[in-house]
Amino acid sequence: MRIMIIGGGSLGLLFAGKLAQSGHDLTVVTRTKEQALELQARGITVVEPDREELVLTRDNKFKFITIDDLNAHSNQSSPIDYICLMVKQAAINNELIDQIQRQMSPNTYVIGFQNGIGHERRLSELIGQERVLLSVTTEGAKRLTASSVAHTGRGITYLGSMDPSSQIDANPHHLLFAQALEREGIHTILSKNMEVRVWSKLVINAVINPLTAILRVNNGGLLSSSWALSLMKDLYEEARSVAEALQIDLPGDLWTSILDVCEKTSWNHSSMLQDIEASRQTEIDYMNGSLVQFAKEQGLKLPMNDFVYRMIKAIEY
Ligand code: KPL
């Protein structure tokens, strides 16, 4: 199999480190030349809680290029089976989609690993829904350096299409790809229920992320105040009402799962809090912003989600 990973952040490095060990051909596409050179020179290190896995990558099965090198790369090599898109939603612009299209053969699949919602629509419109897969993963990863990443928590990676009629688990290529990840310790499930998975993760993020960023607390901090809990509950009820209007059947115990995530990741700073702390653009547009948008289309109002959306907009940058 030939696999391309676009994005050298924590998740991109974790999956690159694991897939590099699986024996398949791998191209990693980074934003900066410095990172591509460092990966080439040092290999990829994945720090597991009990050991360090160093994958030396000076083999011609591995390539490290930058986004700017992508166009030249497409003319040189044989077809890619999977392109794992591991950049934030805001980075998925028409230019990137155009570059991705040039890498594709009729059999290539593009897998979107983004938080939130909106990317599937954009990718499907330009690439075609039948070539687009989505992934929802709860693997924990923290980038340590340009070439090393800590695997901070084991989770589950769901992979599937938003089209419920697609026979994801009957496709031998997808089975092979899932097996490659599974063998390297990334528990992977081919799911026929991706809409519910994507929406469940969206609701979890829409409840936890903006509040942690506004209140400047870690995920566990939300549980220690009844005021914070009541804000979470309001965001949750509103998000659920949009899903209901769209006939998306969210799990009945999703509220308990949200509390569970806060408890299990108690010391983590949510990705949105990290973005605010680092003065980076947040993913609020694709989380609460999208919920408000979907609600509008359904004739609904989400005052709490709209409020946190505007609060984050006011404090980001
Ligand atoms: O996915 C997350 C994020 O930070 O974006 C949660 C689930 C909130 C864990 O930190």
pLDDT one-digit tens code per residue, 114-130: 999 999 999 999 999 99
Q: Which residue has the higher pLDDT, 169 or 99?
A: 99
Q: How far is the CA of 205 from the centre of ligand 1 (A)?
A: 6
pLDDT of residue 305 exceeding 70, the answer is yes
Q: How far is the CA of 116 from the centre of ligand 1 (A)?
A: 11
pLDDT of residue 26 exceeding 60, the answer is yes
Q: Which of 158, 198, 219, 275 to mutate to test the pocket of ligand 1 (most atoms within 8 A of CB)?
A: 219
One domain for residues 300 and 202:
yes
Domain count, the chain: 2
Closest atom of ligand 1 to 261 CA is: 7
Q: How confident is the model at residue 58 (pLDDT cuts 50, 70, 90)?
A: confident
Structure confidence at residue 75 (pLDDT) = 54
Structure confidence at residue 12 (pLDDT) = 97
Domain boundary among 146, 170, 192: 192
One domain for residues 275 and 178:
no
One domain for residues 153 and 227:
no
Supply the ipTM of this predicted assembly.
0.97
215-261 pLDDT, tens digit per residue, is: 999 999 999 999 999 999 999 999 999 999 999 999 999 999 999 99
Arithmetic mean of pLDDT, 195-222: 97
pLDDT of residue 74 exceeding 70, the answer is no
pLDDT of residue 303 exceeding 90, the answer is yes
Q: Whose CA is nearest to atom 1 of ligand 1?
A: 205
User: Which domain, by its residues, includes 234?
Assistant: 196-316
Q: Which of 208, 258, 266 to mutate to test the pocket of ligand 1 (most atoms within 8 A of CB)?
A: 208
Give the binding-site residues of ligand 1, using a 6 Å CB cut-off: 115, 204-205, 208-209, 219, 261, 265, 268, 270-271
One domain for residues 173 and 214:
no
pLDDT of residue 163 exceeding 90, the answer is no
Q: How far is the CA of 68 from the centre of ligand 1 (A)?
A: 30
One domain for residues 301 and 233:
yes
Q: Which of 261, 277, 284 to mutate to test the pocket of ligand 1 (most atoms within 8 A of CB)?
A: 261
One domain for residues 129 and 226:
no
Q: Whose CA is nearest to atom 9 of ligand 1?
A: 270
One domain for residues 259 and 156:
no
Structure confidence at residue 78 (pLDDT) = 77
* Average confidence score pLDDT of the chain: 94
Structure confidence at residue 76 (pLDDT) = 58
Q: How far is the CA of 272 from the centre of ligand 1 (A)?
A: 8
Domain boundary among 167, 192, 217: 192
Domain boundary among 192, 211, 243: 192
Q: Whose CA is nearest to atom 6 of ligand 1?
A: 270
One domain for residues 36 and 128:
yes
For residue 87, give both structure tokens. 């950049």
Q: Which residue has the higher pLDDT, 140 or 241?
A: 241
266-285 pLDDT, tens digit per residue, is: 988 899 999 999 999 999 99
Can you spell out the DSSP letters for the chain? -EEEEE--SHHHHHHHHHHHHTTSEEEEEESSHHHHHHHHHH-EEEEETTEEEEE---STTEEEEEGGGHHHHHHHSPPPSEEEE-S-GGG--HHHHHHHHHH--TT-EEEE--SSSSHHHHHHHHH-GGGEEEEEE--EEEEEETTEEEEEE---EEEE-SSTT--GGG-HHHHHHHHHHHHTT--EEE-S-HHHHHHHHHHHHHHHHHHHHHHT--GGGGGG-HHHHHHHHHHHHHHHHHHHHTT----TTHHHHHHHHHHHTTTPPPHHHHHHHTT---SGGGTHHHHHHHHHHTT---HHHHHHHHHHHHH--
Arithmetic mean of pLDDT, 38-48: 95
Closest atom of ligand 1 to 274 CA is: 4
Query: What's the CATH code of the domain at 117?
Result: 3.40.50.720
Say what the pTM is: 0.91
Q: How confident is the model at residue 77 (pLDDT cuts 50, 70, 90)?
A: low
Q: How far is the CA of 270 from the centre of ligand 1 (A)?
A: 5
Structure confidence at residue 2 (pLDDT) = 95
Structure confidence at residue 169 (pLDDT) = 85
Query: What's the CATH code of the domain at 279?
Result: 1.10.1040.10
